[in-house]
Amino acid sequence: MPDELAARVCVFCRRQPVDDAWRPFCSERCKLQDLARWADGKYRVAGEPRDQHEPEDGDPAEGD
C-alpha cells in the first residue's frame, strides 16, 4: 500500500480525500471541527486563569 494514498485523506476524518481548498482537510466542516477540537484541548491543558471569556461568536458549523 503506497503511503501517498494515506497522506491524501483528510487528517480529521481520515476517510474523505483531501480537497485542495481545505488542505489538509476534506472540507470546511472537518477543518472547523479540528480547530475546535484543538482549541478545546488547549484550554484544558493550559488551564490558565483567562477570566470567563466565553467565545460568544457562536459556532455556525453545528447546524446541518
Instruction: Give the position of cell 476517510.
Output: 15
Write down the least CB distance from residue 23 to Zn ion, Å.
11
- Per CB under 5 A, does 13 bind Zn ion? yes
Binding residues for Zn ion restricted to 15-34, rule: CB under 5 A: 16, 26, 30
Could you tell me how many residues of this chain bind Zn ion (CB under 5 A)? 6
End-to-end CA distance of the chain: 35
Rounded distance, CA 28 to CA 41, Å?
Answer: 20
- Per CB under 5 A, does 12 bind Zn ion? yes
Q: Is the preceding omega at residue 49 within 30 degrees of 0, hence cis?
A: no
Taking CB atoms, the residue at the shortest distance from Zn ion is 10
